[in-house]
Amino acid sequence: METVHTSPGQQEKITGGLRLRGFKKKGEGDRPLVSVITIVYNGVEHIRQTIDSVLAQTYAPVEYIIIDGGSRDGTVSILGEYEERVDFWQSETDAGVSDAFNKGIRLAGGEFIGLINCGDWYETDTVQQVVGAFMANQEVGIVCGALQFWKAGERQYLCHCAPHLLEREMTVTHPTCFVRTELYHRFGLFSTDYTLAMDYELLLRLKRRGTRFLAMNFVLANMQHDGVSEAHWKEALLETHKARTALLENSFYASRCYYWFLVVKRGLRICFEKLGWDGLLRLYRGKLALVKKSKP
């Protein structure tokens, strides 16, 4: 572990991991190097589960990079416990989620990059499944899959990817996505103009540039359904509208009319959930949701 002293008023930058000891992983032949990036800020309660899911992958070689935003709750101490198993980690203040993602991507040396945030976790064979899909489909730039939602330790529902509907809504489960690294070099990283829908803007931008997606039916990642993601849903919809306006010239899906349709639709779902109207919620998911959610 190393500490870099900064100017007065700035937080010290702390780094650690195998790279600092001269170990740098490489791919070979039909086993390309895969980089996995986790961003975290004050994630002491959940970071272990995320880290362990990456370290438990049945595939090798996997390069694991963790970008911490300057946590003060004990997260950095936990990162230090994985000093001999994580390839590289750093802790310093950043300019938000997009900035943290971009820091990790710039450090990555793999042919493919996966992003799994603190609190989410992979299935043990996720990377194996993804690499197999990439190797069998050389024209594919992004592989994604099903996301399993959990609540209070119980499986809730599966959410599958539908890349062909991406112009309309966020229909790709970002925690399951793996992207060919060359696409970031060709078309750019996450836009720092977005604070909530940066993943949607990136995926829509890559699709509009001709990137081919492959959606797998397997569960690749898991996420806790704790309602936090709904706290800023109106702001998130404004940002997805902003992305469509910028990337979908003269499209109905970039219109204000379509934006307000999405606002009403999302509002109905949240209302049904809060009121416990399970029947109407099932009807919504079956008839109005673009990406159909199913019980596991």
Please give the backbone phi and psi of residue 284, each rounded to the nearest 5 degrees, phi first.
-60, -50
Pairwise CA distance, residues 106 & 118, whole Å: 19
Collapse the DSSP code of 179 into the 3-class scheme (helix H, G, I; strand E, B; otherwise coil) and give the result. strand
Pairwise CA distance, residues 155 & 148, whole Å: 7
Is the distance from CB of 105 to CB of 37 less than 8 angstroms? Answer: yes
Classify domain 1-121 at the CATH class level. Answer: alpha beta
pLDDT score at 296? 60
Which residue type occupies 70?
G
Where do the structural domains in the chain lie, given as residue ranges?
A: 1-121, 137-296
Is the distance from CB of 68 to CB of 76 less than 8 angstroms? Answer: yes
Collapse the DSSP code of 9 into the 3-class scheme (helix H, G, I; strand E, B; otherwise coil) and give the result. coil
Pairwise CA distance, residues 69 & 93, whole Å: 5
Is the distance from CB of 138 to CB of 182 less than 8 angstroms? Answer: no
Is the distance from CB of 64 to CB of 96 less than 8 angstroms? Answer: no
Below-70 pLDDT ranges, the chain: 1-11, 226-230, 272, 276-277, 279-289, 292-296
pLDDT score at 241? 97
Pairwise CA distance, residues 63 & 26, whole Å: 9
pLDDT score at 198? 97
pTM: 0.92
Find, among 194, 204, 196, 193, the residue nearest to 253 by Cα. 204
Q: How many of the other CB atoms lie within 10 Å of CB of 108?
A: 22
pLDDT score at 8? 47
Pairwise CA distance, residues 21 & 30, whole Å: 27
Pairwise CA distance, residues 251 & 200, whole Å: 17
**pLDDT tens, residue by residue, 145-198:** 999 999 888 888 889 999 999 999 999 999 999 999 999 999 999 999 999 999
